[in-house]
Amino acid sequence: MMRPTKTRVSLLRAAALLVGLSSLGLARTAQASPDFPPYLKEALDKEFPSVVHCVPLCTACHNTTEGGPGNLNSFGVTLEGSGIGLQPGDADPAHDLALVENAIHNLALAMPPPDSDHDGISDVTELNDGDSPSIAGPAGVGQFCPDIRYGCGARIAAAPPVDRVSLLTSGLVAFGLVLARRRRSKACARRVQR
């Protein structure tokens, strides 16, 4: 016959194991797609073949390098309104590229030309000059593809995303194991006292 203490410990272990195993099947949250900056360059090159464009950072359309929906800067909102309206991974790469090309084409044809940062210079002019259409005035000059360097040739690299579900699950599993260990220690201490 199993003692109640052992049953509780076994149940805690089983619950911790179940939570840990269930997290393995959970999908991670969507992260920014590294494909869109090159698509944006390709679309600009196609629409304006006489201008050499660079591959921008995600901050060309987003407030941070994380990207993602709801994190668009003023130019990202304008571009989204010009025909993108997609999420990373929604479609195949050829479809995503076609949507970006369509948005840039619509932006180029728009009358009056959009000026996302309201600095009096159209987005198309700023894009072709290498300036950020989301940063007004002199602060946006050369900021569409900023060459960010610190120290001796250092470069910025994206930080790996934090998988919050796995982090939470790991914490719960560790907590469950600590509780089980504590209960076992208390049960052993009681047996020794008897």
Mean of pLDDT values over 17-27: 56
pLDDT score, position 191: 79
Pairwise pLDDT comparison (122 vs 79), residue with the higher score: 122
For the chain, the domains span 4-21+165-193, 36-140
CA 10 – CA 179 distance, rounded (Å): 11
The residues, ordered by sequence, that sit 6+ positions from 159 with a Cβ below 8 Å of its Cβ are: none
Give per-residue pLDDT as tens, 31-46: 456 778 888 889 889 9
pLDDT score, position 31: 45
Cis peptide before 112 (omega within 30 of 0): yes
Indicate the SS3 state at residue 72: strand
Pairwise pLDDT comparison (107 vs 31), residue with the higher score: 107
pTM exceeds cut of 0.75: no
Mean pLDDT over each residue of the chain, to the nearest integer: 76
Position 115, amino acid: D
CA 31 – CA 41 distance, rounded (Å): 20
Give per-residue pLDDT as tens, 174-189: 888 888 888 888 887 8
